[in-house]
Amino acid sequence: MIYRIRIMRLENGVLVFDRYATEMNLLDLRVSTDGKVEKLVRCKWLESEAERHELLQKPTTVVLGYHNNACHNLIYAEWIDVSATHFVEWGEDVDALRSRIEELEKQTIVWHRYPDEKPDPSHEYEANIPVIIYSMNGCTYFADYNIDSGNFWRYGGKENNVSHWAYLPEPPREEGND
């Protein structure tokens, strides 16, 4: 379970638990990433041109079709905010997924355009920084960026056709070997 929706009702001016949304209820509900709950409300057809024009300006309107295939009889539905009585309960799975996403984002290789961006030493005494380079001929290599010369080096030779570079990802760590 990633989330479930708790539906409340107003009783004597106080919100009280009514039920959890069923699978059928969920067909007409949507949840935004910030937890806002909206419900799809199916509405009747509109014959007035002014009503149709006003309705179609709303980003929440969904056109379902036309009554009796007549273009002037619009059948529509609309997403309405029901966050005041419908609350999202995020499951434990979501927290685990968010933690895993953060962990993976730390491992992501970020490419930097060269020469616009150059590697920074992580220590004052560091002269060569190990990186991954992408050359203008479409090849990827491991190389060292030399702080003093401002050049990339591979196997003792200078690399001149570098278009992008990236820091090496962190090596894998096994449990208990910190």
pLDDT for residue 13 = 84
Query: Into how many domains does the chain fold?
Result: 2
Closest CA to 62 of 70, 50, 74, 51: 74
Q: Are residues 88 and 117 in the same domain?
A: no
Phi, psi of 101 (to 5 degrees): -60, -45
Give the range of the structural domain holding residue 23, as residue numbers without chain letter.
Answer: 3-93
Domain boundary among 28, 62, 93: 93
Q: Are residues 158 and 80 in the same domain?
A: no
Q: Are residues 77 and 131 in the same domain?
A: no
pLDDT for residue 62 = 57
pLDDT for residue 85 = 86
pLDDT for residue 1 = 47
Q: Are residues 44 and 117 in the same domain?
A: no
Which residues lie closer than 8 Å to 148 by C-beta, 6 or more apart? 127
Q: What is the pLDDT along the chain (178 residues), one digit of tens a residue?
A: 466 788 888 888 888 888 888 888 888 888 877 778 888 776 666 666 676 667 666 665 555 555 555 455 556 677 888 888 888 877 666 677 778 888 887 778 889 999 999 998 876 777 899 999 999 988 999 999 999 899 999 988 999 999 999 998 877 777 765 5
Domain boundary among 61, 93, 125: 93
Q: Are residues 9 and 73 in the same domain?
A: yes
